Structure 1
Amino acid sequence: METQEDVQYCFQDRNSSCRKSSLSTSIYITLYIFFSLISAVTVFLNILVIISISHFKQLHTPTNLLILSLAVADLLVGLIVIPVTTVALMEPCWDFGEYFCGFYFYISFLCSSLSVGSLVLISIDRYVAVCDPLLYHSKITITRMMCCISITWCFYIIYNAAIAKIFINVQVPSRCLK
């Protein structure tokens, strides 16, 4: 049985605070290395896609613009969401404050929404290419695709800001509170 002295809380002045868990050092380091490698591979491979499509003029097609949009959204996941989620999962206490917690929820929802939105646009593009191949190049142009991508990104930025504002105003997650 644990005594009161054995239990460590994230915030010692509050008994309602979450408890600090103690992982063995080897498991702790292994998990951090594993998640860091996932993040690094995600960033590296998406940067390769972004550079390839941006640099080579032959790759400037409507479909590749969609792939570029997906790569940028996934790059944000690798740069921001995976590292912060790793810390949030590994550490029992949220030490970043309430505002960063709200920003983290906004960014994680935004990045996942942008990825899904890009996948939806890719599926629509492929549907038009398969069902109407003779008119594909007249229906789907680079300008129209850039407009669709811009509208999708703007929509999700505004939509997720509204959702995050409602979510944070209604209930701040208990991990974010001291």
Structure 2
Amino acid sequence: MMETLEGGELCFPQLLNTSCRKPTRPHSEAMFLYILLSSISLLTVVLNQLVIISISHYRQLHTPTNLLLLSLAVSDLLVGLLLMPIEIIRIESCWFLGDLICALFYYASFIVTSASVGNMVLISVDRYVAICDPLRYPTKITQRRVKICVCLCWVCSAFYSSLILKDHLKQPDRYNSCVGECVVVISYIAGAVDLVVTFIGPITVIIVLYMRVFVVAVSQARAMRSHIVAVTLQRSVTVTAKKSERKAARTLGIVIVVFLICFCPYYYPSLAGQDTSSGALYLAFMIWLLYCNSCLNPVIYAFFYPWFRKSIKLIVTLQILQPDSCEANIL
């Protein structure tokens, strides 16, 4: 009777000596987590899908900036569509999908997360050039160059992730303490590299660009005050530029704050000089906080744009299905 009870608590009852134990979490707590995390996953998918449909369908939105938003939305959609559901399944802490899927899951997780961060940097660069060098923006930032940058972002993310997870991809179960577990441990050296490439480097670039945009906004505001006698057209252009800069500065500021909130806790073990283990309860929470950035990205980047709100109305009211709807005036 005791053996049966003990076997019932195991992920694989037939493997009494090597199987992991099932968690003893209360049913009500497990249901609450399932509902909460499933809602976050669904919201992430819906928001990013709206961004993808809007930019892909309406020809007026086929701009270099929106191509970057589209790439970001794709990476964030994959987080909500693939990574979040698998993490929800792992609430029971038993891994039934095998070693191969375990390796691919972490590999996909690193690729999508890295690509998402890379897209954020590209968007910051795009806004920096648009604000600080608007006259040469059309020649510097072309659709062809943006497409190349987006492709390089994804290719580099895949290559970088394969290097970070090299040992895990070769032997997915090397860090598992029992059968029914999917664990990856990032060494201190790999964690330090990941910290610089995925966190310190990108946030430094974003902050530097943000400060530069802020300086330009201040200098143009002073120029406005010192050139009161300028012609009406020139003054109008300056006022428009100033408004655009303020909007860009505010958006980038929110991006920085959200990025830090979502990523800082995840990289704390690396900052503290500790090994990063995916089996730790603390890290499980930090992973979900990091994933939530994918839910917030479309809010930050898209809800600030009036065209997105107009596009949502057209999609929800099914006007997007009308003939020639792709030629609609969205801007």
Relative to the length of structure 2, the TM-score reads: 0.49
Looking at structure 2, the residues matched to 171 and 97 of structure 1 have their Cα atoms a distance apart, in angstroms, of 9
**Aligned-pair Cα RMSD in Å:** 2.1
Which piece of structure 1 moves more, 168-177 or 47-56? 168-177
Deviation at 1:171, TM superposition (A): 6.2
Identity, % of aligned positions: 48
1:26 aligned partner, one-letter code: S
Which residue number in structure 2 is paired with residue 31 of structure 1? 33
Q: 5 Å matches for 1:1-178?
A: 7=6, 8-12=9-13, 13-15=15-17, 17-88=19-90, 90-169=91-170, 172=173, 173-174=175-176, 175-176=181-182
Quick one: structure 1 residues 164 and 97, their matched pair in 2 at CA, closer, same or farther if it must change by over 3 Å?
same
The structure with more radius of gyration: 2
Unaligned runs of 5+ in 1: none
Distance in 1, matches of 2:42 and 2:79, equals 11
- Report the more deviating stretch, 168-177 or 39-48: 168-177
Q: Contact 1:53–1:60 (CA<8 Å) still a contact in 2? A: yes
Counterpart secondary structure, 1:18: coil
Say how many residue pairs are matched.
Answer: 174
The question of whether the paired residues in 2 share the 8 Å contact of 1:9 and 1:15 is answered with no
Q: Kindly provide the amino acid, as one letter, of the partner of residue 87 in structure 1.
A: I
Q: Distance in 1 between matches of 2:109 and 2:16?
A: 29
Following superposition, the deviation at residue 91 of structure 1 comes to: 1.1
Which stretch shifts more, 44-53 or 122-131? 122-131
Q: What are the ranges of 5 or more consecutive residues in structure 2 without an aligned counterpart? A: 184-331
- Are the counterparts in 2 of residues 110 and 157 from structure 1 also a CA contact under 8 Å? yes
- Structure 1 consecutive aligned stretches of length 4 or more whose deviation exceeds 4 Å: 3-7
Give the deviation of 1:164 after TM superposition. 3.0
For normalisation by structure 1, the TM-score amounts to: 0.88
Cα offsets for 1:94-114 (capped at 9, x unmatched): 111101100110111111011
Which deviates the most, 63-72 or 121-130?
Answer: 121-130
